[in-house]
Amino acid sequence: GSRRTQQADAVVTGAGSGIGRAFALEIGKRGGRVICSDIDAERARETVELVSAAGGKAFDTVCDVSSLAEVATLAHTAEEWFGKNPDLVVNNAGIGRGGTLIGETPPAEWHQVLDVNLWGVIHGCHVFTPRLREAGHGAIVNVASAAAFGSAPRMAAYNVSKAGVLALSETLAAELSGTGVTVTVLCPTGVRTNILEGVSIGDENLQRWGDRLIRWTGRPPGSIARTTLDAVDRGQLYVVPQLEAKAIWQSKRLL
Ligand code: NAD
């Protein structure tokens, strides 16, 4: 229907903080039940408490999205708790790393970033897509970034991971066309969350990148989550919440 996000049974990864937590709260507000999964048990539990305090129904579970086995377990947990497959899956979990040039970035860091940011979303799509397709309705939201089409220096692994999420989402949307399952990819710019702790590209670089690409006083996570779920209701593929990013997006003829 046109209001897929109303009373949706949803799964959110990385729901213990920032944008993921905001998605969980917004889904709860729309009358849905939400499984709040995170690699950090304590944070996931806090989100459940917040959703519950706001009158929503939520359940916390630990899931490291870089593990296919753990994402498969997450699907089973969801099936048990809902008594059915979810209507909405938000592949949100991600980490930020940066600060080094390509030639200086240790391979271990490349693997870490790609394992969570790209493989995490691949796992989510691999595990949940057949279930939604079988149900014949539902929505998948993948969280990429403006970094998918930007080129901030000293953040190569992150940029590559997000470009991968974008390509994956476009492919999935094409494959699911006509099945009743929609795909939406979110490309936020600067949102003040805990992720910034991992990104040590230096204030000066951040500023320079910011001048070109983003506005760090970007919208708060709650507003991003609302905008995105409204876009899901409209069956929209891309969500680029800030105008600066949208201009770049348009210049690449993606809108
Ligand atoms: P955040 O750090 O506040 O929250 C991320 C959550 O993901 C944390 O609770 C963390 O514990 C969890 N997490 C980390 N690794 C995980 C793993 N392996 N498995 C499961 N959970 C894991 O960050 P955020 O800003 O809310 O980021 C959410 C998503 O938004 C990320 O994919 C990020 O790349 C993307 N994004 C953020 C911004 C921004 O400016 N904040 C911009 C563009 C895109």
Domains of the chain: 9-251 (3.40.50.720)
Q: Is the pLDDT of residue 243 over 80?
A: no
Give yes or no for residue 195 CB within 6 A of ligand 1: yes
Amino acid (1-letter code) at residue 158: Y
- How much is the pLDDT for 214? 46
Q: What is the overall mean pLDDT for the chain?
A: 89
Is 238 among the residues known to form the active site? no
Calpha distance 94→246 (Å, rounded) = 22
As a whole number of Å, the end-to-end CA separation of the chain is 24
CB 229 within 8 A of CB 27: yes
CB 158 within 8 A of CB 97: yes
**Mean pLDDT on 15-23:** 98
Q: 101: which 2 tokens?
A: 């040039």
Instruction: Choose among 9, 39, 40: nearest CA to 24.
Output: 9
Specify the higher pLDDT residue, 99 or 219.
99
Of all protein residues, whose CA lies closest to atom 18 belonging to ligand 1? 64
**Distance in Å, CA 37 to ligand 1 centroid:** 12
Question: What is 109-167 written as a DSSP string?
Answer: HHHHHIIIIIHHHHHHHHHHHHHHHHHT-EEEEEE--GGGT---TT-HHHHHHHHHHHH
